[in-house]
């Protein structure tokens, strides 16, 4: 058998059903990655067009929604959906109903951008972050907006944020989601607490691995208490690669966090990275390899994988589920095309401007 036929044969593992736990079973191992589309209506309410968009992709085993902002000062891009008002919940109900009608499952990604937020979008004067460390650059899609110096979160702020994540998880359940993925990756709020370059605190939330994981772990525990561990997942970026500078000490933070997460029995852990070929000296190689070596439960791999490469990685036990991003923008019928061995429509950036 030549190598191409062998790869095609191995792709059958992508279509296997898999149980995340005794509550949630997925019909295949293909996950729609969270994809920021900036297509909400007024007041950040999801639209019927968004419902149609997600519904067309329900043949994937699991859809992870684009990031849903847990409160107004979490917004860092224009027209990103919220999950903190009743109108937003009602809008999301249309999305989840469309996915469920077509036999799919969908998790809400709970999002606060931290120092990557911008006061242009909300009434507060300052953005909030673990420390007063400014992010360089400008807001995506709004290049005229420079990032500002954030306010270091107080202990009371952190207590409120934990409650806001908890409430957002409850809102997601009301909206009909099958679970939530807490966004702790990609240089956003929770990730900012986990890296030394963005967390320079010297209180109970910074200065040591034990302190740096305290807030993110409290968020995970609050969400689990509210909706159950079976419906709670987490995305992490142990390798600093976007809006963050790496620090060799970060390894100790993630070593400790992953050891603590083992006992939480999450629905899954999801790597946050755009290109999984990236290597990190302090992780000893690729972030996927680091996670698999330090976390024994369900992992979602991501990072510009083709279906063939992702299938082989699953066969090699590098991860358990494969998240696909841009190809699912270009191919709503991605799973059907893979099964029929049909060519995929190539992705192009112009596709970001339409919900197809």
For residues 213 and 261, the answer to whether their CB atoms sit within 8 Å is no
State the pLDDT at residue 45: 98
Q: Give the CA count within 13 Å in the CB-facing half-sphere of 131.
A: 20
Other CB atoms within 10 Å distance of the CB of residue 289: 15
State the pLDDT at residue 238: 98
Q: Which of 310, 308, 246, 321 is nearest to 276 (CA)?
A: 310
State the pLDDT at residue 124: 77
- The owner of tokens 């107080």 is 154
For residues 147 and 135, the answer to whether their CB atoms sit within 8 Å is yes
State the pLDDT at residue 353: 83
Close Cβ partners of 238 (under 8 Å, ≥ 6 residues apart): 250, 251, 254, 280, 283, 287, 290, 291
- In angstroms, the Cα distances linking 7 to 59, 206, 294, 315, 332 are 22, 46, 28, 11, 23
Distance CA 34, CA 324 (A): 9
What is the pTM for the complete model shown?
0.96
Distance CA 86, CA 339 (A): 40
State the pLDDT at residue 248: 97
Domains of the chain are 3-353 (3.20.20.70)
* HEC profile of 169-180: HHHHHHCCCCEE
Task: Please provide residue 110's backbone torsions phi and psi, each rounded to the nearest 5 degrees.
Answer: -90, 125
- pLDDT digits 0-9 by tens, 333-342: 999 999 999 9
Q: Give the CA count within 13 Å in the CB-facing half-sphere of 63.
A: 31
For residues 340 and 15, the answer to whether their CB atoms sit within 8 Å is no
Q: Give the CA count within 13 Å in the CB-facing half-sphere of 305.
A: 28
Burial (CB < 10 A; 0-12, 13-18, 19+), residue 350, is exposed
State the pLDDT at residue 10: 60
Q: Residues of the chain whose pLDDT is less than 70?
A: 1-10
> Catalytic residues, which ones?
188
- In angstroms, the Cα distances linking 253 to 133, 185, 189, 302 are 19, 14, 16, 22
State the pLDDT at residue 6: 42
Other CB atoms within 10 Å distance of the CB of residue 225: 12
Q: Which of 60, 66, 96, 104 is nearest to 82 (CA)?
A: 66
| ∠ Cα 241 247 250 (to 5°) | 90
């Amino acid at each position: 058998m030549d190598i191409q036929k062998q790869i095609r044969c191995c792709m059958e593992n992508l279509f296997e059903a898999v149980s995340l736990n005794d509550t949630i079973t997925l019909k295949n191992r293909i996950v729609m990655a969270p994809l920021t589309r900036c297509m909400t209506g007024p007041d950040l309410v999801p639209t019927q067009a968004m419902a149609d968009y997600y519904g067309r992709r329900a043949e994937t085993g699991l859809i992870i929604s684009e990031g849903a902002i847990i409160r107004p000062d979490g917004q860092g891009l224009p027209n990103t959906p919220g999950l903190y008002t009743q109108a937003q919940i009602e809008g999301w109900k249309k999305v989840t109903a469309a996915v469920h009608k077509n036999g799919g499952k969908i998790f809400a990604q709970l999002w606060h951008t931290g120092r990557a937020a911008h006061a242009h979008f909300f009434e507060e004067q300052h953005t909030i972050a673990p420390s007063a460390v400014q992010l360089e650059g400008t807001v995506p899609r709004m290049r005229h907006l420079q990032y500002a110096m954030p306010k270091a979160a107080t202990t009371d702020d952190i207590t409120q944020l934990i409650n806001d994540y908890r409430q957002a998880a409850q809102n997601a359940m009301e909206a009909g989601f099958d679970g939530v993925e807490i966004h702790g990756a990609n240089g956003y709020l929770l990730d900012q607490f986990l890296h030394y370059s963005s967390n320079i605190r010297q209180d109970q939330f910074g200065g040591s691995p034990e302190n740096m994981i305290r807030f993110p772990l409290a968020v995970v525990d609050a969400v689990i208490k509210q909706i159950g561990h079976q419906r709670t997942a987490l995305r992490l970026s142990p390798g600093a690669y976007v809006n963050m500078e790496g620090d060799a000490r970060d390894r100790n933070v993630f070593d400790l966090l992953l050891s603590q997460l083992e006992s939480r029995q999450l629905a899954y852990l999801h790597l946050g990275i755009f290109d999984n070929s990236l290597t990190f000296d302090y992780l000893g190689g690729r972030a996927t390899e680091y996670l698999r070596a330090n976390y024994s439960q369900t992992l979602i791999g991501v990072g510009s994988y083709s279906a063939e490469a992702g299938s082989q990685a699953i066969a090699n036990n590098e991860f358990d589920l494969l998240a696909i991003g841009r190809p699912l923008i270009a191919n709503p019928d991605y799973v059907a095309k893979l099964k029929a061995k049909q060519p995929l429509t190539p992705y192009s950036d112009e596709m970001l401007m339409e919900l197809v």
